[in-house]
C-alpha cells in the first residue's frame, strides 16, 4: 500500500523551540508601563506570532495612545532594545524541553528542517542556543512582508527546503500560526494548550511528549484514492 509521508518540519521559534515568548511579553509590558498603562499576560496572547510592527499597533490601541509613524518606529526600536537586553545571556538552557532532542532525531533520520518565525531576532537566538547548524533553511521576520496568519513565512520555508506544503509539518504555539499553516496547505502540530490550538491537526502540551515515531504515527497515512 502506498503511504503519503511528511518529509520535513517547519518550526516556529518563540514558544516552540525557545522560551523567549515570555521575554517578548515582558518587553512589551515595560514599554506599556513607560507609556503609562499596563499590559497583562492574557492580552499578550494576541501578540504571539505577530510581527513587531503589528504588535505595537495592537498595544497602542489597548492603551488608547496615538503616535506619528516616526514615533512608532522609535517605540518599536525601544521595545526591541528591551527584548535584546533580556535575551543577551541566552544559552542552551533556554531551549524548551524536548526541542533539541526532536531536532537531532529528525536530522539524523534525513528529514528537512526549516525555521518559520516572525522574529527578526531569530538567527542570533538560534546561534546563542547552539542549534543554528541543525537548520537547513531559515525563514524569519527579515524575509517576510506579511505577518501570520498569512502563510508567507511557511511558504518561503517550504520553498527553501524544496518541499511542498503538504509534505511539511508546521510546529506552532500560536493560534495565528496554526491558521497560517492551514491557509498554506501544511500539516500542523500545535504545541501548547489544546483549546487555544484546536484547529491544528494534532496538539501536544510540550515537545517533550513528541519523538519521530509519534510524528510518523500521526502524519504518515495511506493513500486511499488515486488522483489522475
Ligand atoms: P521580533 P515566532 C514572534 O516569533 C513572536 O511570537 C512575537 O511575539 C514577536 O512579536 C515576533 O516574533 C517578532 O519578533 O520583534 O524579534 O522581530 O513565534 O513567530 O517565532
Ligand atoms: Mg511562537
**Residues 18-67: tens digit of each pLDDT:** 989 899 999 999 999 999 999 999 999 889 889 999 999 999 999 999 99
Report residue 3's pLDDT band, with 50, 70 and 90 as the boundaries: low
Q: Which of 24, 28, 153, 196 to mutate to test the pocket of ligand 1 (most atoms within 8 A of CB)?
A: 24
Catalytic residue (choose from 12, 19, 140, 150) = 12
**Domains recognised in the chain with CATH numbers:** 8-19+95-219 (3.40.50.1000), 21-86 (1.10.150.240)
The pLDDT confidence band at residue 195, using thresholds 50, 70 and 90, is confident
User: CB of 87 within 8 A of CB of 20?
Assistant: yes
Distance CA 25, CA 228 (A): 50
Answering whether pTM is above 0.85, one says yes
Q: What is the number of the ligand 1 atom nearest to the C-alpha of 12?
A: 20
pLDDT exceeds cutoff 70 at 14: yes
- Dist CA 199 CA 174 (whole Å): 11
Query: For the chain, first and last CA: distance in Å?
Result: 17
Cα separation, 92 vs 162, whole angstroms? 29
CB-based neighbours (< 5 A) of ligand 2, an ion: 12, 14-15, 49, 173-174
**Ligand 1 geometric centre to CA of 134 (Å):** 20
What pLDDT does 31 receive?
98
How many Cβ atoms are within 10 Å of 10's Cβ, its own excluded? 32
- Cell numbers at residue 12, please? 516556529
Amino acid at each position: 500500500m502506498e503511504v503519503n509521508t511528511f518529509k520535513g518540519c517547519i518550526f516556529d521559534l518563540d514558544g516552540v523551540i525557545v522560551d523567549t515568548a515570555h521575554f517578548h511579553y515582558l518587553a512589551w509590558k515595560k514599554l506599556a508601563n513607560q507609556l503609562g498603562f499596563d499590559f497583562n499576560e492574557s492580552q499578550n496572547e494576541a501578540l504571539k506570532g505577530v510581527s513587531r510592527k503589528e504588535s505595537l499597533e495592537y498595544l497602542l490601541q489597548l492603551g488608547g495612545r496615538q503616535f506619528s509613524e516616526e514615533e512608532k518606529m522609535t517605540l518599536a526600536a525601544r521595545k526591541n532594545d528591551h527584548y535584546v537586553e533580556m535575551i543577551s545571556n541566552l544559552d542552551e538552557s533556554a531551549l524548551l524541553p524536548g526541542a533539541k532532542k526532536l531536532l537531532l532525531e529528525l536530522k539524523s533520520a534525513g528529514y528537512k528542517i526549516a525555521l518559520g518565525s516572525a522574529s527578526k531576532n531569530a538567527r542570533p537566538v538560534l546561534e546563542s542556543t547552539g542549534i543554528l547548524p541543525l537548520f537547513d533553511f531559515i525563514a524569519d521576520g527579515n524575509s517576510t512582508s506579511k505577518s501570520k496568519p498569512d502563510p508567507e513565512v511557511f511558504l518561503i520555508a517550504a520553498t527553501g527546503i524544496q518541499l511542498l506544503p503538504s509534505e511539511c509539518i508546521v510546529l506552532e504555539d500560536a493560534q495565528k500560526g496554526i491558521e497560517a499553516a492551514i491557509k498554506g496547505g501544511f500539516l500542523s502540530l500545535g504545541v501548547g494548550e489544546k483549546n487555544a490550538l484546536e484547529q491544528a491537526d494534532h496538539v501536544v502540551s510540550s515537545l517533550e511528549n513528541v519523538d519521530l515515531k509519534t510524528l510518523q504515527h500521526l502524519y504518515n497515512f495511506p493513500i486511499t484514492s488515486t488522483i489522475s
